[in-house]
Amino acid sequence: MTAVADVRVVRIRPRSALTLLLASLGGLAAFLWPLLADRGAALQSTSAPLVFALLLPVLLAVVLAELSDGGMDTKALAMLGVLSAIGAALRPLGAGTAGVETVFFLIVLAGRVFGPGFGFVLGATTLFSSALLTGGVGPWLPFQMLGAAWVGLGAGLLPRVRGRAELLLLALYAAVSSLLFGALLNLSFWPFMLGSSNQLSFDPAAGPLENLHTFALFTVATSLGWDLGRGLTTIVLVLLAGPAVLAALRRASRRAAFEAPVAFTP
């Protein structure tokens, strides 16, 4: 039997693509600007709230652009709400325990089935919902939202394969994206965390490569075990629950008929 192709629940139209591109570039700048700053530039701890205030509207603009550009109908919005609620409920089950993270596998699988646009929006809304549920709202939230959104976006852009090859591809992607997510989140607060007297501290007088080397040492020393725990948890959940969840999401997609044209008859 011929496999049915996955749908693109959120169509990435030209305006949406431009908004996603600009938001992603702005997000990368927010993550990487300490490495790109001029040597000797002073870093102020008050910069983090400023980045938070600037980045969150960009993320909200991306979601609103996806909704207002005709790329998401009511059925897709309902699916987004259900999956965001499930993800928000799953996250407290593992967060805070040796890097166990139970939410990313759902973002990966949903992004795979429903496409990169839906994956991007789902990643952002899931982390936002879980932050409201657990009281985790703070300057770190927009960074978490954007990182999770990129995870969902990348899952939707993976090559089209099925069967065992698909599960292995998703497991590999889950491992890589989990490590990158942790590294980016570290980078968002590392320059302000340790002061200037520690060997693992950001050095405004050093060049980008030297600071990147120091950051790699900081990551290995402080959070690599946590990031590996997140990656391992996501891999295990993808391999064990992936077949059933993928089948359920694809069955729901077929029944919802997201791409079917709507015709009104008298």
DSSP alpha helices (H): ranges in the chain?
A: 14-36, 47-68, 74-94, 104-114, 116-134, 141-156, 164-193, 208-222, 224-256
Burial 129-155 (b: 16+ CB within 10 A, else e): bbbeeeebeebebbbbbbbbbbbbbbb
For residue 256, CA distances in Å to 63, 74, 133, 249, 259 come to 22, 10, 28, 10, 9
Residues 6 or more apart in contact with residue 135 via CB below 8 angstroms: none
Domains of the chain: 14-256 (1.10.1760.20)
Residues 6 or more apart in contact with residue 175 via CB below 8 angstroms: 231, 232, 234, 235
pLDDT of residue 142: 82
pLDDT in tens, 48-103: 556 656 766 776 677 667 655 656 777 888 888 899 999 888 887 765 555 677 88
Q: Which of 75-89, 109-123, 124-138, 226-240 has the lowest mean pLDDT?
A: 124-138
> Mean pLDDT throughout 226-235?
88
- DSSP string across 44-90: -TTHHHHHHHHHHHHHHHHHHHHHHTT---HHHHHHHHHHHHHHHHH
Give me the percent of the chain exceeding a pLDDT of 70. 77
User: Is the per-residue pLDDT at 4 higher than 80?
Assistant: no
pLDDT in tens, 149-190: 999 999 999 998 888 999 999 999 999 998 899 888 888 777
How far is it, in rounded angstroms, from Cα 124 to Cα 261?
A: 28
How far is it, in rounded angstroms, from Cα 173 to Cα 61?
A: 27
pLDDT band at 27 (very low <50, low <70, confident <90, very high): confident
Question: Contact 30/185 with Cβ under 8 angstroms?
Answer: no
pLDDT of residue 221: 85
How far is it, in rounded angstroms, from Cα 184 to Cα 206?
A: 20
* Tokens read off for 183: 């590294």
